[in-house]
Amino acid sequence: MKLIIATIKPFKLEEVREALTAVGVRGMMVTEIKGFGTQSGHTEVYRGAEYAVNFVPKVKLEIAVASSMADQVVETIQKAANTGKIGDGKIFVLDLQSAVRVRTGETNEDAL
């Protein structure tokens, strides 16, 4: 199994979620994060003092999938989250050793 970690623009969340459901992803964890990258924020003025906003609000998805599905999931996210503009985000894939469903104790792919 793989754990896919993706960071995307917040307003793309719904679209990505729908696309993933369509390819059979049945669950994920979603976290609000602050992203730091090339799209490095912008300058604002507060009460006459300039300052740089270095972080950009992003959403992070964590999805455990069977290894066989991993490529398709990555591709799906990449397509759905794409706007072509800087700051679209990244997708990371890690190896997942085991998984357990708390409710039933089922393990590994049965747990997803």
Ligand X SMILES: Nc1ncnc2c1ncn2[C@@H]1O[C@H](COP(=O)(O)OP(=O)(O)O)[C@@H](O)[C@H]1O
Chain residues that interact with its own copies, rule: CB under 8 A? 2-3, 5-8, 17, 26-38, 54-55, 58, 60, 62, 64, 74, 77-78, 81-103, 105, 111-112
Q: Which does 96 bind (CB under 5 to 8 A by kind): its own copies, ligand X, another protein, none?
A: its own copies
Nearest to 5, CA basis, from 60, 86, 69: 60
> At its nearest, how many Å lie between another protein and the CB of residue 87?
11
Closer of 48 and 102 to its own copies (Cβ)? 102
Cβ-proximal residues to 83 (8 Å cutoff; 6+ apart), any chain = 9, 12
| 64 lies in the binding site for ligand X (CB under 6 A) | yes
| 51 lies in the binding site for another protein (CB under 8 A) | yes
The structure tokens listed for 34 are 């602050």
